[in-house]
Amino acid sequence: MDASSLLNQLLQSGRDLAAKGQDLAQTKLNLPPPGPERDAMLQNMGKGAAVAGVLALLLGTRPGRQVTGAALKLGSLAALGGLAYQTYQNWQREHSATPAAVGTPVDQLTGPPAEQRSRALLTAMLAAAKADGVIDSSEQGKIDAYLNSLEVPPDLRRFLEEEAAKPLSVQDIAAGADSPAAAAEIYLTSRLVIDVANERERAYLDELATLLRLPPEVVAELERQAAPKPA
């Protein structure tokens, strides 16, 4: 499994969890209470459940965090890349007299560029998950157990472990954007994990948008597009 495949599965799992409701995350995974029995079960999970488990941990380990409605619209690399690309391109048409290249959506990349972009987005997701603090040792242990069951290649596993352990740096996350399309994707990926009701997390997301050099109109449109439709 490469970074693109893992990211795509995380997005799909987020869509599934959002559709069924955050309260069903634990039931969906059929997990026993924390303890040896639970840890043993994690090691033997199928890939689909394991990916959902990683996302459930990133989204649900702290009070108030929820799988947001954005996950319903961003449930695949194609959805994420397409929304980010179209939003920025539309803004350029309306506001820029000399449009520059937007870049390539993540789902249209292949080879090393696809791996590089996907790792930047995975890093953004991990950073957003610890925007209100850190991923503690207990949470990291659970994530490691899920990754074991996914048979993630050693180099990708090391990358994820190192990124999860790093001090939070919004500057480093913004530096992962090599184009406007990538910047919009990083913002949307971070938005999936951020609890906007948390003042600290909202401030992180706002600073990220500034460092990504996303125009306020683009940020507002990304937020609007990602939001769930009223019932």
- Which is higher by pLDDT, 185 or 139? 185
Residue 188 located in a structural domain: yes
CA distances 39 to 62, 75, 231, Å, are 19, 28, 38
Give pLDDT tens digits for 149-201: 667 788 888 888 888 788 889 999 999 999 999 999 999 999 887 877 778 88
The answer to whether residue 60 scores a pLDDT higher than 60 is no
Tell whether 185 is covered by a domain: yes
Q: How many domains are there within the chain?
A: 1
Q: Is residue 170 part of a domain?
A: yes
Q: What percent of the chain has pLDDT over 90?
A: 34
Domain that holds residue 60: 3-226
Domain annotation covers residue 231: no
Confidence band of 218 (pLDDT split at 50, 70, 90): very high
Q: Would 33 be classed as within a structural domain?
A: yes
pLDDT tens per residue across span 63-84: 434 555 566 677 889 999 999 9
Query: How far apart are the two ends of the chain, measured CA to CA in Å?
Result: 37
Q: Nearest-CA neighbor of 164 among 180, 182, 144, 179?
A: 144
Is 125 within the bounds of a domain? yes
pLDDT top residue among 23 and 163: 163
- Residue 229: φ, ψ to 5°: -70, 145
Are 71 and 18 in contact by the 8 Å Cβ rule? The answer is yes
Helix (H) or strand (E) holding 52: helix 47-60
